[in-house]
Amino acid sequence: MASAISANRAELLAIATSVATEKMIDKAIVIEAMEEAIQKSARNRYGAENDIRAKLDPRTGDLRLWRVVEVVEEVEDYFKQVDLKAAQKLDANARLGDFIVDPLPPVDLGRIDAQSAKQVIFQKVRDAERDRQYEEFKDRAGEIITGVIKSVEFGHVIVNLGRAEGVIRRDQQIPREAARVGERVRALILKVERQNRGPQIFLSRAHPDFMKKLFAQEVPEIYDSIIEIKAAARDPGSRAKIGVISRDSSIDPVGACVGMKGSRVQAVVQELQGEKIDIIPWSQDTATFVVNALQPATVSRVVIDEEESRIEVVVPDDQLSLAIGRRGQNVRLASALTGSAIDILTEAEASEKRQREFAERSKMFEEELDVDETLSQLLVAEGFTELEEVAYIDLAELASIEGFDEELGEELQSRAQEALERREEAARETRRALGVEDALAEIPHLTEQMLVTLGKAGIKTLDDLADLATDELIARKRVEQRRRESSNAAVKRDGPLLKRDLPQRRERERDDKGGVLGEYGLSEAQGNEIIMAARAHWFEDEAGPASSGEAAHADSSQ
């Protein structure tokens, strides 16, 4: 490359063409790099203060070198300025304020200058090559690509993709899969990032989308969008599940994915190093899909909590280990497939849990409403779980319960409201005993029970509350979950009976990670409003002195 600077014009063009072809970049970029290298070397020779330009004709190879100077009346910078008299010797039409060209003779580069020019050209070509690689791959995320394993470094596999290199990081490889240098490998382009050292192409063989793309290659119906893979979950190298649906009622989506004698699915299994794949019919009904996802286990009942995206599945005692799977694999994959957390209970455990909840809620109504055991149990059986539900439900709905009338409904609502007032008063006294300021009680959305919780957490003043972030205040610690159960058979498939109906119970579950008021289910908007209300006095304090000063100024002016 060094010889390129001092070579004749034909050699310059030949070198530019050769480099552009080899690196697969535009020839104009190489010529621009040569011009920049010549300019740098010329500045070293004639002075770095000069504004020197070089131009290499891409057709003839002619090289022109000049410096640009400004025509001024009195010269202050002899490198970049010239007086009018000297300027008119170069250009008879020169006028004050013009910029004119002062031709320079070609430079004969020495060894050091040539090496410097070579570095400039290499850097420019390298940058252009990186830009070309990024532009080529930036929009290809989600595609499957084939390459040759170049090396394995610290457990990461470097793959030669032809015009670029990709990397399969250790966590994106199939466990126990041997990577041998020189072998061909297929992988999913996970993402492409532009970095200083060039574009980084991240590949994956463990991502669920890799399996989905493999099926699209093997199953024409998927490629043609007749069959769609709605969900996929993988335990790479061990087991996977996919949920499929057909847009054509005459085509069985599971059969199409399996293929004749399992040929299609086996092709995918071989690529995934023997990973077992369960192909499951997808259903819009969540409960049905859960039953399908947990096969081969038999499911007795599904309880859905749509608000918290959790599902409780009840199975026969002898099906528990099958539903959970080895090391929890079956339920873990089913959970990932459905997008909801799944809890597995045996029928005995579910029955014991329901009895315990029934007894606890009956006892609460019996004590708080001062009613007999029969009436309290009837309320729980009708789906009431909290005093608030009894106190504020529509009276006609309460009176419509078998054995109730409007008079009894009014009495129950009155007692429920009195019980809530007693709770509120008790909480107020506790809050004051804890030393929580009354000012906190004026903040919207905060109840006395919430203030007690704040006091127990050491948050007793406006400043204490104002110092909290919204997440620290409301991130859920204890959530109330609405469950669905029913005595109506909704789905029957291969024996297991699935039951769903109106909400009948609400269960509190604790998660130790969360905010101070996480158990109360406040929204983010409510949390922000609470925090801003607590900080309001800060802004009033800041505005106060300015307002006083303005008032004093107004008085003095009068």
The alpha-carbon radius of gyration of the chain (Å, integer) is 38
Q: How far apart are CA 209 and CA 526, in angstroms?
A: 38
User: For the residues of 344-405, what is the DSSP string, one character each?
Assistant: EEEHHHHHHHHHHHHHHHHHHHHHHHT--HHHHHHHHHTT--SHHHHHHS-HHHHHTSTT--
> What pLDDT does 118 receive?
64
The topology under which CATH files domain 138-204 is: OB fold (Dihydrolipoamide Acetyltransferase, E2P) (2.40.50)
* Positions of E strands within 419-534: 478-484, 489-492, 497-499, 503-510
With a cut of 60, say whether residue 314 has pLDDT above it.
yes
Per residue, the 3-state secondary structure of 41-65, as one string, reads HHHHHHCCCCCEEEEECCCCCCEEE
Residue 245 host element (H or E): strand 239-246
Separation between Cα atoms, residue 258 and residue 252, nearest integer Å: 10
How many Cα atoms occupy the beta-carbon half-sphere of 258 within 13 Å?
12
Encode pLDDT of 22-63 as tens digits.
666 677 777 777 777 777 777 777 777 788 887 877 777 677
246 Cα distance to chain centroid: 29
More confident residue, 121 or 280: 280
Is the domain spanning 225-297+316-350 CATH 3.30.300.20? The answer is: yes
Burial class (CB in 10 A: 0-12, 13-18, 19+), 195: exposed
Angle at 78 between CA 74 and CA 81, to 5 degrees: 60
> Which pLDDT score is estimated for 484?
33
Q: CB–CB of 412/388 below 8 Å?
A: no
Return the SS3 of 529: helix
Flag whether the pTM goes above 0.85: no
Reported confidence tier of residue 512, pLDDT bands at 50, 70, 90: very low
Burial class (CB in 10 A: 0-12, 13-18, 19+), 273: middle
The residue-averaged pLDDT of 323-337 equals 90
Q: What is the pLDDT of residue 557?
A: 43
Reported CATH class of domain 2-133: alpha beta
pLDDT digits (tens, 9 = 90+) for 255-291: 999 999 899 999 999 999 899 999 999 998 888 999 9
Question: Rounded distance, CA 311 to CA 483, Å?
Answer: 9
Q: At residue 203, does pLDDT exceed 90? A: yes
For the chain, what are the domain ranges?
A: 2-133, 138-204, 225-297+316-350
Mean pLDDT of 409-419: 88
Which pLDDT band, with edges at 50, 70 and 90, does 14 fall under? confident
| pLDDT for 477 beyond 80 | no
Nearest Cα to 230, choosing from 249, 215, 251?
Answer: 215
Res 505: pLDDT: 33
Question: Which tokens go with 210?
Answer: 């890799």
Nearest to 168 by CA among 145, 214, 202, 133: 202
